Amino acid sequence: MCPSATPTPELMAVYVDAPIWERGGQLWCHLTADTSEELHAFASVLGLSRSRFQSKPGRSWVDHYDINEPKRRQAVALGAVEITIAEAGAQLARKREAARPRVETD
């Protein structure tokens, strides 16, 4: 995507896992993406406040938004890919590995 282009959901790699976490009488899931830029752009389209973003310093592979079932349905309608909990775990592992510093050997 060109940097000046307006992000559109259909051009983003955004994912939602299964809504299995109960809180406040609702089921919740995670909204994730391949990049933080895609995640925040899609969250904006969904109307999510940036204050709902969850991250850990130095661990960008865990970046996500928690969303409830109605917001999950909206995300899927806008193009988010539904993934299983196992697929979400594999995605985290890949992102963690990609973020790991590489040691060059001669």
77-95 residue pLDDT tens: 999 999 999 999 888 888 8
Q: Which pairs count as long-range contacts for 68-74, CB under 8 Å and 24+ apart, including other chains?
A: 68/19, 68/26, 68/27, 68/28, 69/19, 69/26, 69/27, 69/28, 69/29, 71/46, 72/16, 72/19, 72/29, 72/31, 74/46
- Inform me whether the pLDDT recorded for 20 exceeds 60: yes
Q: Give the pair of three-digit tokens for residue 63.
A: 């970046």
Q: How far apart are CA 98 and CA 93, in angstroms?
A: 9
What is the pTM for the complete model shown? 0.77
> Look-up: residue for tokens 């969303």?
67
